[in-house]
Amino acid sequence: MNRMDWVIVRRLAGNIGITIAVLFGIVMLSEALNTGRLDRLSDTGGPMLALLGILVAASRWIIDTLPFTVLVGAIAGLLNLQSTREMTVMKAAGQSVWRLMRAPLAVTVLGGLFVALAFDTAVVQLNRSIWPSAGGSDGTNTMWLDERRTDIHYILEAGFVDPSGRSLGDVSVFLMDSPRDRIEAPTAELVDGQWVMPTALRFRSNEMSQQLTDFRLPTSRTAGDMRARMASVADMTVWELAGSLASRLNDPDERAEVATRFLRLIGLPLSLCGSLVIAFAFTASYRRTNKYGGAVLYGIVLGVLVYVVTEMAGRAGAAGVMHPAIAVAGPAVVAVVIGVTVLLNREDGRT
């Protein structure tokens, strides 16, 4: 990057940083109103742990709203360049808006990758250290599974779940088909699509309990399904999400939710680039009066609209209503197309 690129990147980064800091402070004040959570954290580790909990919660809000925050900060930075006429000088020197966007877009992509791969991972792991049960990996919570197949229907209750998702403890199985047996076993292992119980007791109405050996129940769930079921998808890092997808998720609901969360993190750089392009489209053009109130309003309204559509599409993808790839990439691509179209119309006079 040359000196001109550094000027643009530094000015945009500074204003985006100020916008994030202001929003971060507002969110911290909002999270501080959650007195129940603060009291629990204070009782566990004192005021410092409570403060750390507020910081982590605010950080997660910042990650979720980062595209809109980048849009507002980029608009402020570009207006700063316009007010000092630096943008006008750069264009007068023969630099097109496409050339001026090149360095900020590259930095935005790198920043988005850092947030998705490193910062979000650190926030999730820190949240787990504050709330150990948030990741669902402590293996102490009761789990219920409703298994419906063409040949069998049963409900399984496990008092212990191994973090690998392959071992259960304190197992009770309720067979829903006649004669509606109840099976109890100390352990169950997931082996080749079956729950294998080395020893078990079968209880049937009006009969004595029966000792069973090597009792097996068919299941369509995999170890990946179990890990995704144990953990809240929002409390999984991008690496854990990738591992869950690679381990063959058979449950369509779990797979849709995991895939949507994973693609949203991986697609964060594209969403940020869409916000940056919209900011350039509405504030980078020259105006003799140096008044950009209307353009700023249009840009922010469009940014809010894109953010709302992104959230709605993300929820649709997580619910399995829409394909996760379309739900994640669609709004970001639309934002880029809108920004590029406006730029073509304003800079070149054609679309």
Torsion of CA 273, 305, 64, 249, to 10 degrees: -90
Mean pLDDT, 10 residues at a time, the chain of 351 residues: 86 92 90 80 80 88 90 88 82 83 92 93 86 45 78 87 80 88 90 89 87 89 72 79 77 82 92 90 70 71 82 86 89 87 72 40
Q: Are residues 50 and 192 in the same domain?
A: no
Domain presence at residue 237:
no
Give whole-number Cα distances, 83 to 11, 22, 31, in Å.
Answer: 12, 22, 36
**Parent domain of 176:** 143-226
Q: Please identify which residue in the block is written with the tokens 């053009």.
A: 285
**How far apart, in whole angstroms, are the C-alpha atoms of residue 115 and residue 125?**
14
- Tokens 């925050």 sit on residue: 69
Are 122 and 37 within one domain? yes
Same domain, residue pair 18 and 154: no
Residues 154 and 127 both lie in one domain: no
- DSSP labels for 219-255? ----HHHHHHHHS-GGGS-HHHHHHHHHT----HHHH
Find the helix packing angle between 3-32 and 47-64, rounded to 10°.
Answer: 130
Whether 48 maps to a domain, the answer reads yes
Do 287 and 305 lie in one domain? The reply is: yes
Domain match, 15 and 129 both: yes
Of 172, 204, 226, the residue that ends a domain is 226
Is residue 138 included in any domain, yes or no?
Answer: no
SS3 category, 154: strand
Residue 70 lies in a domain: yes
**Which two tokens mark 345?**
């119309």
Task: Give me the number of domains the chain comprises.
Answer: 2
Residue identified by tokens 């991972």 is 121
Alpha-carbon distance of 283 to 274, in angstroms, equals 14
Residues 24 and 120 in one domain: yes
Provide the token pair at 120: 């979000």
**Which amino acid, 248?**
R
- Rounded CA gap, 233 and 256, in Å? 11
SS3 of residue 151 by DSSP: coil
| Cα distances (angstroms) measured from residue 280 to each of 67, 93, 104 | 14, 18, 10
Task: Give the residues across from 143 on adjacent strands.
Answer: 158
**Rounded-to-integer distance, Cα 190 and Cα 230, Å:** 15
Query: d(Cα 97, Cα 346) in Å, to the nearest integer?
Result: 10
> For position 32, what pLDDT does the model report?
84
For residues 149 and 84, state if they share a domain. no
DSSP 282-309: HHSS--TT---HHHHHHHHHHHHHHHHH
Neighbours of 46 (CB within 10 A): 10
Q: Is the pTM of this model over 0.75?
A: no
Separation of alpha carbons 106 and 273, rounded Å: 9
What is the distance between the alpha carbons of residues 241 and 327, in angstroms, rounded to a whole number?
17
Please tell me whether residues 264 and 344 are part of one structural domain.
Answer: yes
Instruction: Please report the pLDDT score of residue 140 as a whole number.
Output: 45
Last residue of a domain, one of 207, 226, 245: 226
Angle at 344 between CA 338 and CA 345, to 5 degrees: 90
Beta pairing, strands 143-148 & 194-203: unpaired
